[in-house]
Amino acid sequence: MPSDQSSWLIAVPNDGDAEGLYQELSGKLETQKALSRSNLGEFKVPELKTGTLDLLITLSEELPKHDSNATSTVGKIVDTLRNLLNNDPSRLAQHTLVEEKTCDDYLLKNWKWNSGKYNTERSLRDTVDALVKLQSCERRTDSNATQEDVGTHPDGWDPQLIVIRTREHVIPESEYMETVFVAVPNLVKQWNSTYERLAGMVVPRSSKLIQADDEYSLFSVVIFTKVRQEFSNKCRENKFIIREFDFNEEEIEKQREELQMADLSEKELWTELLRLARTNFSEAFQVLVHIKVVRLFVESVLRYGLPASYTGIIVKPEPKTTKRTLDVLASHFAYLGSKSRSRDKKSGNADEDYVGEYQTLMEQEIFDYVLFEVGTRGVFHAYMLISFRSHGLCEAAMQYTILYKSRCHHRTVAMQITPAFIG
């Protein structure tokens, strides 16, 4: 069953009254409390150049891979945004916009084919190649951006020792005593109970916590200089890490300035990465939707034939009423199934010889209409899910497709499998 976390792109033959079809379907869905009108949209499937039957068959085999790659690209960009925004869902929603609109609004509110970028007068092969090229560019751009080192800091910079800025952290210069700094990795209780016994001449109750983070706690402790080596060895045995540090006010000031510059550079780089990721998401999502629509067109031509005029419906299912929505769609478009069965009879019973182990798969996932999914809700989760399903079942679907390559009708039946699994 199609995911209720995605929007569904549906294509059916245009019988001359696309507006009437949309109004009738939306009325049924609303009457049966399956879906509100705000969760339903319509669009015109572009009348692309169909080309030859061989080309359509070839593209129907190639497009699932391009679809999977485009879905993966969007997912990786979302992952980049998630990392930049500390996995904050509300902030992520603010930056996963398409043309400054939410993914749902981009699809549901009058989606149109971008004729400026993808001229419908070009051949179908050229259109697909243009989409794939742009998708590859988005993937490379995101990959290059994520390789930038956001955490750039000056050489020798230590995030814990840099906080030792005043003499209060160290004892006055002495011939016999010194302050040692120790990084304790999540063993604070052990440190507090044992540090005085790590060497024979550790000043009692001299340990002070200077700073702590998720991994380490930095302590200072006063010892006699002559037991420095013994103390260091015992620390090493207990997985405590001695941090070398000589107090120098000039050096501290220099490091402070370098840190401020590094923080400024980091903020500038973070802002630029966020801008790039946000722009890339918008572009990559648009490419993905256009690839989905090309798949709708190709599969519709193979399934329903010419003229290549089809009506597009966009459904944003409600999780609680997904099955009811599918039931209404099945009932409303049942006439398309009768046409398909009529064509099945004309082709004879030879189809059964090719089904084999994929018979159950076909019975579960064939729809009378062409359907593909686009992840829009809970964006990151949706794209991880769709990408996983796409990679996991693409090979089986493609193997099944090969069995039917010899006949056009066989190809149309085989391609009915891929929407629910790979879309």
In a domain, 157, yes or no: no
In a domain, 319, yes or no: yes
Domain shared by 291 and 234, yes or no: no
Chain-centre distance of CA 182, in angstroms? 41
Is residue 184 helix, strand or coil?
strand
In degrees and rounded to multiples of 5, residue 51 shows phi and psi of 70, -155
Distance CA 184, CA 202 (A): 17
What does the pLDDT look like over 26-51, one tens digit per residue?
999 998 988 999 999 999 999 999 88
Domain shared by 273 and 400, yes or no: yes
Domain shared by 180 and 236, yes or no: yes
In a domain, 366, yes or no: yes
In a domain, 261, yes or no: no
In a domain, 226, yes or no: yes
Q: State which residues form the domain around 215.
A: 165-246
Residue 25: CB atoms within 10 Å: 22
What does the pLDDT look like over 355-374, one tens digit per residue?
443 343 344 467 899 999 99
Domain shared by 144 and 170, yes or no: no
Which residue, of 215, 246, 277, is where some domain finishes? 246
CB 154 within 8 A of CB 259: yes
Domain shared by 126 and 274, yes or no: yes
Q: Is the pLDDT of residue 398 over 90?
A: no
Domain shared by 307 and 411, yes or no: yes
Distance CA 269, CA 148 (A): 8
Q: Is the pLDDT of residue 400 over 60?
A: no
- The number of domains in the chain is 2
Domain shared by 169 and 145, yes or no: no
Domain shared by 95 and 17, yes or no: yes
Q: Which two tokens stand for residue 316?
A: 């944003």
Which residue, of 213, 246, 279, is where some domain finishes? 246
Q: Which pLDDT score is estimated for 155? A: 40
Domain shared by 189 and 325, yes or no: no
Selected residue with higher pLDDT from 422 and 230: 230
Q: Which pLDDT score is estimated for 14? A: 87
Domain shared by 131 and 17, yes or no: yes
In a domain, 375, yes or no: yes
From residue 121, give the alpha-carbon distance in Å to each of 65, 266, 300.
Answer: 24, 47, 19
Average pLDDT along the chain: 78
Nearest to 50 by CA among 300, 385, 388, 375: 300
Which residue, of 186, 215, 246, is where some domain finishes? 246
In a domain, 155, yes or no: no
Q: Which residues pair with 283 in a beta bridge?
A: none
Domain shared by 212 and 357, yes or no: no
3-state secondary structure 212-233: ECCCCEEEEEEEEHHHHHHHHH
pTM of the model: 0.66
Domain shared by 106 and 208, yes or no: no
Q: Which pLDDT score is estimated for 306? A: 86
Q: Is the pLDDT of residue 57 over 90?
A: yes
Q: What is the CATH number of the domain that holds 214?
A: 3.30.70.100
In a domain, 22, yes or no: yes
Q: What is the CATH number of the domain that holds 378?
A: 1.20.1460.10
Cis peptide before 89 (omega within 30 of 0): no
Is beta strand 6-13 parallel, antiparallel or unpaired with respect to 310-315? antiparallel
Q: Which pLDDT score is estimated for 211? A: 84
